[in-house]
């Protein structure tokens, strides 16, 4: 299968899983929406679990690039920490926002699917390491990193449930207080 077809399948599955849920979308629905044969779909992804793993890998890349682009546009190390919440604000304003795809996957499949649980844990650990690097660059104590990461995670869940972008601004305001306290400002 060519890369263009594989990409179309993964992007189609991502849109379906994200909008309707992993458990509600079968391989037939992915096949129909992607415009490929079921044989071609299963040749590329022998199981739905393989397709879910590919979707989550794509979401990880999308998340990482999005956060890094927002953070990298800022020079001041402390302000770079706050840029994470600016990214969240932009994301929450997307009309298709339905929460964190990783949290959704874990909620639906994590207890029954160890591979999904592992992928989600790796994604969340990667984000925590990224925040820890930003905290170190800002010269703040290591203890600030998990606090800021928890604020970001909580904002994602709150925004999905509330259906508003308010959680990003609220998390940003709390992060600013924590950052100032950690930097002795």
**What would the pLDDT profile of 58-79 be if each residue is shown by its tens digit?**
999 999 999 999 999 999 999 9
Q: What pLDDT, in 10s, does the model give residues 27-63?
A: 999 999 999 999 989 999 999 999 999 999 999 999 9
Instruction: Give the fold, CATH level 3, of 56-182.
Output: Tetracycline Repressor; domain 2 (1.10.357)
pLDDT reported for residue 162: 96
Q: Which residues contact 137 (CB under 8 A, 6 or more apart)?
A: 77, 80
- Which 8-state DSSP code applies to residue 106? I
Q: Which of these ranges, 18-22, 80-84, 97-101, 109-113, has the smallest mean pLDDT?
A: 109-113
The closest of 36, 52, 26, 51 to 1, measured between CA atoms, is 36
pLDDT over threshold 80, residue 1: no
Q: Which residues contact 52 (CB under 8 A, 6 or more apart)?
A: 13, 17, 22, 105, 109, 113, 116
Task: Write down the domain spans for the chain.
Answer: 1-46, 56-182
Of the chain, the percentage scoring pLDDT greater than 70 comes to 99
Q: What pLDDT, in 10s, does the model give residues 126-146?
A: 999 999 999 999 999 999 999
The count of other CB atoms within 10 Å of the CB of residue 12 is 22
pLDDT reported for residue 185: 86
Which CATH number among 3.20.20.70, 3.40.50.2300, 1.10.10.60, 3.20.20.220 corresponds to the domain 1-46? 1.10.10.60
The closest of 17, 98, 4 to 51, measured between CA atoms, is 17
């Amino acid at each position: 299968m060519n890369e263009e077809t594989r990409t179309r399948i993964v992007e189609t599955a991502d849109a379906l899983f994200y909008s309707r849920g992993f458990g509600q979308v079968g391989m037939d629905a992915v096949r129909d929406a992607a415009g490929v044969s079921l044989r071609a779909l299963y040749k590329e992804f022998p199981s739905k679990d393989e397709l879910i793993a590919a979707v989550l890998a794509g979401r990880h890349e999308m998340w990482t690039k999005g956060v890094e682009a927002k953070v990298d546009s800022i020079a001041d190390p402390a302000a770079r920490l706050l840029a994470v919440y600016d990214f969240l604000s932009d994301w929450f304003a997307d009309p298709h926002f339905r929460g964190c795809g990783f949290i959704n996957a874990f909620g639906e499949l994590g207890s029954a699917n160890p591979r999904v649980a592992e992928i989600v844990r790796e994604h969340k650990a990667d984000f925590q390491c990224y925040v820890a690097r930003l905290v170190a660059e800002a010269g703040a104590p290591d203890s600030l990193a998990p606090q800021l990461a928890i604020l970001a995670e909580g904002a994602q869940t709150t925004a999905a449930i509330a259906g508003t972008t308010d959680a990003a601004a609220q998390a940003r305001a709390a992060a600013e207080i924590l950052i100032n306290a950690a930097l002795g400002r």
